[in-house]
Chain A
Amino acid sequence: MNAPRPERQFPSTRHEGRPASAADRILARARRLRPSPLAQYRLAVAARVLAASLGGYVLASVGTAAAALLLPRVSPLGRADAVLAATLSGFLLYAGCVLWVFSVRTAGRAWLGLCLAAGVLALAVVALRN
C-alpha cells in the first residue's frame, strides 16, 4: 500500500583498488546507458498509470460484457436488467482495478494480473456469446 518506489538500486559503477580494465570500461558505459534511478521511478509510475487507466478500462469493459451475458443465465434477471446491473457494477470494478494496480509491489505484476484477468473474462465473453 506504499507509494511506488524505484524498483532496483544499482551498485556504484566505481571499483576501488584496481585499475579499470577494458571490460570494466565497457560495463561502465553500458551502465550509463541504463536509465537513472529517477528515470526508472518515473517509468514505473508511467507504467502503473497506463495499467490503471487503459488496462483498468479494458478489464472493466470485458468484465461488464461477461457479467451482462452471464447474469441472464444464472439469475432471474432479464437481458436488459443484466446489462444495466453489469454496467453499474462495471464502474466499481474499474475503480477497484485502479486501486489494485497501485497497491501491488511492481508495475509488472500489475500488468500481469490485469492481462490474466482480462484474458479469462474475454474467453468467457466468447464462450457465452456462442
Chain B
Amino acid sequence: MAWLHTWTGLLAGWLLFFVFLTGSTGYFYFEIDRWMRPELPLAGREARDPAAMAARAQAYLQSQMPHANQWGIYLPVERTIPELLVIAREGSGASQRVLRTVLDPGTGRPAENRQARATGGGPVLYRMHYLLHYLPRDIGIWIVGACTMFMLVALVSGVITHRRIFADFFTFRPRKGARSWLDAHNVASVLALPFFFMITVSGLAFFMYQYLPAGLLAAYGPGPQARQQYSRDMSDRPSATQAGPAAPLVPLGALVQAAQARWGDGRVVASLLVQRPNGAGAQVQARARREGGRSFSFESLYFDGATGAALAATNPSRTRDAHDALIGLHEGRFAGTGLRWLYFLSSLLGCAMIATGLVLWTAKRRARHQALVCAGGRAPLGFRIVEGLNIGTLAGLPLAIAAYFWANRLLPAAWPMRANWEVHILFLAWACALAWPALRPARRAWRELLWLDAAAYALLPALNAATTRRHLGITLPAGDWALAGVDLTLLAAGLAFGWAAWRAGSMRARGSGRLPGTGTRA
C-alpha cells in the first residue's frame, strides 16, 4: 500500500496541485471577478425587496420578449449576483434569440455604467480546475477525472499505510529532513481528511456519466434519447399540461411573496425561472437563496404560471437528493462567510498535502544520490525531473496565478485580445517557472522562485492602488469587503511566500543542506 500511495501520488501530484490551487480560487471566484473589473461601482448595501424587484423585471421582460420560451430572473440577494439580471430565450436552434440584461434594481431599467474591461476574471480561473483551459472540453474533463481517481486511491492507500494516524497527528519533528516533511505531510493530510474525501468523491459526481456510462447504458441504452429519458425520470418538475388557451402570466411580485410565505422561515427567493411565459401551460419555478442556508442544494417551489396556484413537486427521490447534496457540498454555494473561508483554507491544506508529499519523495531519495552529487556527478534523470517539476509547479504555479492578476491590471483596458492574453500570460509564466530549475541549482531555484512569489503577491495591492480607484484606501473606508478582502488575501499570500523563501534561504545558510529535500539526518 505504501508503494501504491507513493506512485499514484507522484504521478498525479502536479496536476492535482493545479486542480486544488485553481479550484481553491473558485470559493472566491465572484470576489476575484469583482477585483478584475475595477470599473464597476462599489458594492451597495441597501436592503432590497425581492417582490418589488421581481415585478420590475417582469415589466421589463414583458416589454422586450413577451413570448420567450423561458425567462430567468436573478435577484441580487445572493452574493454572486450583485445586480438584477434577466435572461430570456426565444426560438430554437440557429434562430434562437437570447436577451441578457442587467437592470437597475431600483428602477427596473437597464443599468448604465456596466462597461468594464474584458477579462476572464474569476470564472476562467476556477473553470481551469476541471477543463484545463486549452484542451477540448471532453479531454480536459477526462484527464481531471483520471487524476481524481488517482487521488481517491492515494487517499485510501495513504490512510491504510498510516497505522498510527492519531498519534502521528500530534507529532512534528522539525529540522530533520525527510522526517519533517513526512510529519508535515501527515498533519496536512489528517487535518482536513474528511474534506479531501468529500471533495474527491463529489468531484467525480459532476461528470460521472462521462466517466462511467455503463449503468446508464445498461438500463437506458445508448444515444441522446436515452439520456433525455433518464433526465425526465430524474426531474422533480411537475409535468406541464400544455393544453388549454394561452393566458397572461401572473404578477411575479405576488408569487415571490407567496413562495416566501410557504417557506415561512425567513428564506427569500433568489431566482425565478419561467417556462413559456404568457403561453399555454406556463410554469414558474422559485428558487430559494442558498447562501447561509441549511440546504446544500437548490430548494424550489413550482407554481402554475396562469393561476399562481402552487404545484406539487413530483417524483421525490432520496438518491437525487444525495447526488444534489454531493454537488452542493463540492461547490459550497450554501456556505456563508465563515464556512466559505473554511472551504478555502481546507483547499489550501489540500495543496499543502500534495506539495509536502511531492517534496517528501525527493527528500527521501536525495540522501541516496548525495554521494554521487558530491563526487561531481549528477543525480539520476528521473530524480532531476521530479525535482524540476516540483520547483516549477509548487513554487511556479502560484507565480503564474499572480501573473494572471498582474496581467489584468497591466494589459491595456481597451485592447480587444486582453481577456485571452491574461490566460496566456498565466501559462507562459508557469512555463518559465518550469524551465527555471533546468538552468539553476535546485536550492537556488527554490529560493529564487519563492522570493519572486512573495514579491508578486505582496506588490499586487500596490499595483492595484497605482492603476485603479478600487484599492484598499478606497475599499476599506467604503466597507466593500469583497474587494478589500482580495487585496488583503493577496498581501497575506505574499507574506506567507516571503516566510517560505526566508526559511529556504536560512536553511541553506546554516549549511546543513536540509532544504526542501536536501537530505535526512535520521
Chain A residues proximal to chain B, CB less than 8 Å: 1-4, 60-62, 64-69, 77-88, 90-92, 94-95, 98-99, 102-103, 125, 129
Contacts and interface: CB of A to CB of B under 8 A. Distances in A.
Contacts of B317: 78, 80-81
Given A3-B3, A68-B215, A83 B204 contact: no
Interface in B303-347: 317-320, 322-323, 326
Interface in B1-16: 1-4
A66, A86, A87, A90 — which one has the most chain B CB atoms within 10 A of its CB?
A: A87
Interface in B193-251: 201, 204-205, 208-209, 211-212, 214-220, 230, 233-234
A78 B233 contact: yes
A2 B4 CA distance: 9
Contact of A95 (B156, B205, B320, B322): B156
B323 A84 contact: yes
Nearest to B2: A3
B389 interface: no
Contact of B209 (A61, A77, A87, A125): A87
Main secondary structure on chain A at its contact with chain B?
A: helix
A85 B208 contact: no
A24 to B, nearest CB: 38
Main secondary structure on chain B at its contact with chain A?
A: helix
B141 to A, nearest CB: 15
Contact of A83 (B1, B4, B153, B215): B215
B320 to A, nearest CB: 7
Given A85-B319, A91-B204, A68 B216 contact: yes
A7 B201 CA distance: 35
Nearest to B209: A87
Interface size class for chain B? 20 to 34
Contact of B230 (A1, A61, A69, A80): A80
Contact of A99 (B2, B156, B204, B218): B156
B215 A90 contact: yes
Contacts of B322: 88
Contact of A68 (B1, B156, B219, B323): B219
Given A80-B234, A87-B209, A68 B320 contact: no
A97 B212 CA distance: 15
B149 interface: yes
Interface in B127-166: 149, 152-153, 156-157, 160
A64 B319 CA distance: 15
Contacts of A86: 215
A69 B209 contact: no
B320 A87 contact: no
Nearest to A91: B204
A88 B218 contact: no
A79 B219 contact: yes
Contacts of B320: 81, 84
A56 to B, nearest CB: 9
Contacts of B4: 98-99, 102
Contacts, number: 99
B208 A91 contact: yes
A61 B214 contact: yes
A62 B212 CA distance: 10
A3 B6 CA distance: 10
Nearest to B208: A87
Given A65-B218, A81-B317, A125-B218, A87 B212 contact: yes
Contacts of B212: 60-61, 64, 87, 90-91, 94
Nearest to B1: A1
21 contacts: A2-B3, A3-B3, A61-B212, A61-B214, A62-B214, A64-B212, A65-B214, A66-B218, A69-B219, A79-B219, A80-B230, A80-B233, A81-B319, A83-B215, A84-B319, A85-B319, A88-B208, A88-B326, A91-B211, A95-B156, A99-B4
Sorted nearest first, the 9 A-B pairs with minimum C-beta distance are: A3-B3, A65-B218, A80-B233, A68-B215, A61-B214, A81-B319, A64-B215, A86-B215, A65-B214
Given A68-B216, A84-B320, A129-B218, 9 more contacts: A2-B3, A62-B214, A65-B217, A79-B233, A86-B215, A87-B208, A91-B152, A91-B211, A91-B212
A7 B204 CA distance: 35
Nearest to A95: B152
Nearest to A79: B219
Given A87-B209, A99-B4, A102-B3, A69 B160 contact: no
Given A81-B317, A87-B208, A87-B209, A99 B153 contact: yes
A46 to B, nearest CB: 12
B1 A65 contact: no
A85 B1 CA distance: 28
A117 B204 CA distance: 24
Given A1-B1, A4-B3, A81-B317, A98 B153 contact: yes
Contacts of B326: 88
Contacts of A77: 319
Contact of B149 (A69, A84, A88, A91): A91
A125 B216 CA distance: 13
A87 B2 contact: no
Nearest to A86: B215
A4 B2 CA distance: 11
Given A64-B215, A84-B320, A99-B156, A94 B149 contact: yes
